[in-house]
Structure 1
Amino acid sequence: MTPAIQDATGVELHLVEDDEAMRSSVSRWLTLAGFTVHTHGRATALLPSLEYGAPAVVISDISMPGMSGLELQQALLKKDADLPVILFTGHGDIDMAVRAMRAGAYDFIEKPFDAERLLETVRRACEKRRLVLENRALQMQMQEIGGLHARLVGSSPAISHLKRQVLDAASVDANVLLVGETGTGKEVIARCLHDLSPRSQAPYVALNCAAIPATLAESELFGHEPGAFTSASQRRVGSLEQATEGTLFLDEVVSMPIDVQAKLLRVIEQREFCRLGSNRVRQANFRLVAAMNIEPREAMERGLLRNDLYYRFNILEFRIPPLRERKEDIPILFTMFAEQAAENYQRDMVYPDAGTVAALMGYDWPGNVRELKNVATRFILSPPAQGEPFIPFKAAASGVERPEIGLQEQVRAFERSLIEDALRRHNGNIRAVLEDLRLPRRTLNEKMQRYGLMREAAIQP
């Protein structure tokens, strides 16, 4: 391997040549031109080191003992069809080189070659590889964004800000604290952080601390060996161990006993733990995401959360907005939940009318998105008779006062929900949306801009 300065494209060169003098000469020339060059005397030495997506260009002689350059090219293209392979060929190998070009080789250069032509060919190949990798990265990012939009539905400023936070934090292997009221979707956020992270192929383990008896909390977290306590008849693998190389989500962490919080703190700091009843030290390798439904300062003042544990949790802290702070998302969320209920229960889909939307917008939703989902399900299972108003919340029937919103706000919300729903149903196809809503293109553009709606947000991957 020859050390060199990496070129501006970030792409490295792999030179395969069995002639040592030729290999040394070409490597030196390319190195002086500013490329990172890795040299290989045999094709079989290169093949295991290059995988799909490698930032690389391969330069290979065709005629070599063992695996030929042509065989190497075919093997590499099976791994990555867009990998540029440049072939050296003698005069007698021209027909073979032409066949290689037809089979996917980037270019071939006849020996003895012109150094400047080689340099120009390599530069073009590196630039092509850079563009291919950038395009793949953008496509992956769009898939991630599309997947996130499908899970965190809505385009209000509050939810848009949260989506940006999730995308920014997903690739960062840091602890995250989620703070939000019950029903706001904290576990959905935790799952998004895991699925968009480098740990996505490893386990995602969710532990609801509020659902575990205090006496079993330590065992659930750390696991235990047989005989560790009276009822421990079998070995148990705890959540810390189950989440190895993945993500551990601790929901309602303020319900965890204070003494167990102290032991969890040590795991976070030392990155190791022992099962109950065992002295064997095990490594803790997971990303921690914790959630609570009260303000951290209040939890600490009430003695529900250790101060030092909180400071370990909140490297990144996200505030999950309650539904009353993102009311413009209610119509599209309600429609989505109604469609899901219609499919799950095999009922006809009933779309909310203007009166239903106004009723939904006029309620404060103390149960947040979870309550909205339940109401949408009830709307499908027990729809109002024709001409009857739909009462989405039981509080209205018992005479509890509910907040009112003006007619103009109701009309805007309804119009926005219609456009957003059409974009989603037609997967961002503007022509289909125009035909569905019977709107001129200019009018649709103006309304989408007014309501902050983006076509890209509606495209499902």
Structure 2
Amino acid sequence: MSKVLIVDDEEGVCELLRDVLEDAGFEAWIASNAREAREILQAKTPDTILLDIRLPDADGIQLIEEFNSMGIQVPVILMTAFGTTETAIQAMKQGAHDYLNKPLNLDELLLAVQKAVKMQELFSEVATLREELDIEENSVDSLIGQSKHMQDVCKIIGKVADSDITVLIQGESGTGKELVARSIHSNGRRHQRPFIKINCGSIPEYLMESELFGHEKGAFTGAIYQKPGKFELAHSGTVFLDEIGELPLHTQVKLLRVLQEKEFERVGGTKCIKVDVRILTATNRNLKQLVDEGKFREDLYYRVNVVNIKVPPLRERKEDIPRLVNYFLNKAARKFNKEISGITHEAITVLCNYHWPGNVRELKNICEQGVVMSRGTAILLEDLPLPGDGKLSLNGAGEQIGINIRGGKTLKEVVADVEKQVILKALNENNWNRQDTARMLGLNRRSLYAKMKEYDLIDG
């Protein structure tokens, strides 16, 4: 049954609209002011909102903007007895789905609600299909392979997927930790509910608690509106905390409470919010070592490390490389609209012998480059540029930084290639510790993160 929230300070109008909507098969909720509407929207999600433009405690048009800032993506139909052309234009600019004048034509209103609900259903269907396609594609990327290592990973996923047990996913950057998390979610009982990823390494420390747990209006400078956090948005679904080793100690305390009590308060708030989420975590760092160094809480470590999945580096599952190469080449061929029939034996031999410091992500990037650089239907060895002398070497060494000025690259592109190589080499030398890597390269952490994101070196 589709649900409609009616927001109007006239009791008679609310009762009339509720009767009309319920007779038409809708479930109707009533709020007499903006405060009541906010309270309802914190606990429930309607399929559309009927909103009076003049409320005793808010302006309807401004309220639409507030709903958007709260992450409420629901069609809003404005109602007013003071309609003007200017008001109508302003309402539509703020994102209103429709605009009705009072006294209301009930047939017109019912038709507008039916259209809004239908549109919301289509949007939800498209979003679900996109998410399913994304999950399916990403899961394939991470779980392709018949090696014993990958089969062991798949077996653990199968055992834990239907439970709500907390899982810690460990592995080097680029091995596919996020994709393992998505696979756990998509194969579990929460698969139709939200999957929300939080990259703890990319959020500034002063914003971390607000991002995770939300904030109240006025909680700090710039907190103009109340904002729900990622945990609220993920209610009944899964929260994936990537790079959990980067989580500040003071935020770790609040996370521990969520794990133990399933509750928290927004920043600047006093109301206890209950939440039902499954928590998955991932890291490329040694959490036990961080505990010993006093950088990670020991009690939190044991709460997140109930089941441990170690995702193997590509160099330990080289028998999976031919299958992965075939998948990535076909995918890249579709992406760049090219006909690729296969890859030469020489090229696949070199790929299998390479040490792959960037793991599966690096292999994917190399395959895409090969498809772009290829001038025929088969990928040749010379189509596969890598560090060293600019080409893959048969012994898979190539640790030195090299420049490849062939292939028609601009100076900017050549410099970008070298910069990526330098960053990748520094990350490997520092075991992908961003703080140490940034110090080695003379960068701050935010600048390093921006570079890593630009060159697709972010952990996943």
User: TM-score band, normalised by the shorter chain?
Assistant: 0.5 to 0.7
Residue 266 of structure 1: CA displacement? 1.5
What code does the residue aligned with 2:260 have?
Answer: E
CA 295–373 in structure 1, closer or farther in 2 if over 3 Å, else same? same
1:296 paired residue number: 287
The answer to whether the 8 A contact 1:175-1:313 is kept is yes
Deviation sequence 1:85-111 (CA, Å, 0-9, x none) = xxxxxxxxxxxxxxxxxxxxxxxxxxx
1:390 aligned to 2:382? yes
What code does the residue aligned with 2:214 have?
Answer: G
Q: How does 1:32-47 map to 2 (within 5 A)?
A: none
1:306 paired residue number: 297
The answer to whether the 8 A contact 1:178-1:290 is kept is yes
CA 402–215 in structure 1, closer or farther in 2 if over 3 Å, else same? farther
The answer to whether the 8 A contact 2:208-2:251 is kept is yes
SS at 1:279 equivalent: coil
CA 387–221 in structure 1, closer or farther in 2 if over 3 Å, else same? closer
2:360 paired residue number: 369
2:436 paired residue number: none
2-side partners of 1:306 and 1:198: how far apart?
A: 30
Q: Which residue of the other structure, out of 205, 215, 227, is the alignment partner of 1:236?
A: 227
SS at 2:266 equivalent: coil
Residue 387 of structure 1: CA displacement? 10
Residue 401 of structure 1: CA displacement? 8.0
SS at 1:397 equivalent: coil
- In structure 1, the gaps of 5 or more residues are 1-143, 406-461
1:181 paired residue number: 172
1-side partners of 2:248 and 2:191: how far apart?
A: 30
Deviation sequence 1:129-173 (CA, Å, 0-9, x none) = xxxxxxxxxxxxxxx999966751110110011111101110111
Deviation sequence 1:231-267 (CA, Å, 0-9, x none) = 1111111011111110000000111111111111122
The answer to whether the 8 A contact 1:359-1:392 is kept is no
- In structure 2, the gaps of 5 or more residues are 1-134, 398-460
CA 279–369 in structure 1, closer or farther in 2 if over 3 Å, else same? same
Deviation sequence 1:369-414 (CA, Å, 0-9, x none) = 1100000000100027789633645223169987469xxxxxxxxx
Identity of aligned residues (%): 37
Give TM-score scaled by structure 1 length: 0.53
2:238 paired residue number: 247
CA 345–384 in structure 1, closer or farther in 2 if over 3 Å, else same? closer
The answer to whether the 8 A contact 1:194-1:200 is kept is yes
2-side partners of 1:389 and 1:202: how far apart?
A: 44
The answer to whether the 8 A contact 2:350-2:393 is kept is no
What code does the residue aligned with 2:313 have?
Answer: P
SS at 2:330 equivalent: helix
2:429 paired residue number: none
The answer to whether the 8 A contact 1:208-1:251 is kept is yes
Q: How does 1:30-109 map to 2 (within 5 A)?
A: none
2-side partners of 1:175 and 1:387: how far apart?
A: 43
The answer to whether the 8 A contact 1:170-1:196 is kept is yes
1-side partners of 2:147 and 2:380: how far apart?
A: 30
The answer to whether the 8 A contact 2:344-2:381 is kept is no
Q: How does 1:367-446 map to 2 (within 5 A)?
A: 367-383=358-374, 389-390=381-382, 392-397=384-389, 403=395
1:349 paired residue number: 340
1:164 aligned to 2:164? no
2-side partners of 1:167 and 1:146: how far apart?
A: 18
Which structure has the greater CA radius of gyration?
A: 1
CA 180–393 in structure 1, closer or farther in 2 if over 3 Å, else same? farther
1:319 paired residue number: 310
Deviation sequence 1:192-222 (CA, Å, 0-9, x none) = 1111111111111100111101110010000
SS at 1:395 equivalent: coil
What code does the residue aligned with 1:216 have?
Answer: L
What code does the residue aligned with 2:263 have?
Answer: E
SS at 1:250 equivalent: strand
2-side partners of 1:340 and 1:305: how far apart?
A: 40
Give TM-score scaled by structure 2 length: 0.54
2:45 paired residue number: none
What code does the residue aligned with 1:376 have?
Answer: C
CA 212–370 in structure 1, closer or farther in 2 if over 3 Å, else same? same
Residue 301 of structure 1: CA displacement? 3.0
Q: How does 1:103-118 map to 2 (within 5 A)?
A: none
2-side partners of 1:370 and 1:235: how far apart?
A: 38
Q: How does 1:119-138 map to 2 (within 5 A)?
A: none
Paired residues, number: 262
The answer to whether the 8 A contact 2:238-2:279 is kept is yes
2-side partners of 1:390 and 1:367: how far apart?
A: 20
CA 149–178 in structure 1, closer or farther in 2 if over 3 Å, else same? same
1:219 paired residue number: 210
The answer to whether the 8 A contact 1:396-1:402 is kept is no
2-side partners of 1:389 and 1:192: how far apart?
A: 33
Residue 303 of structure 1: CA displacement? 3.6
The answer to whether the 8 A contact 1:224-1:236 is kept is yes
What code does the residue aligned with 1:395 have?
Answer: P
The answer to whether the 8 A contact 2:139-2:180 is kept is no
The answer to whether the 8 A contact 2:373-2:383 is kept is no
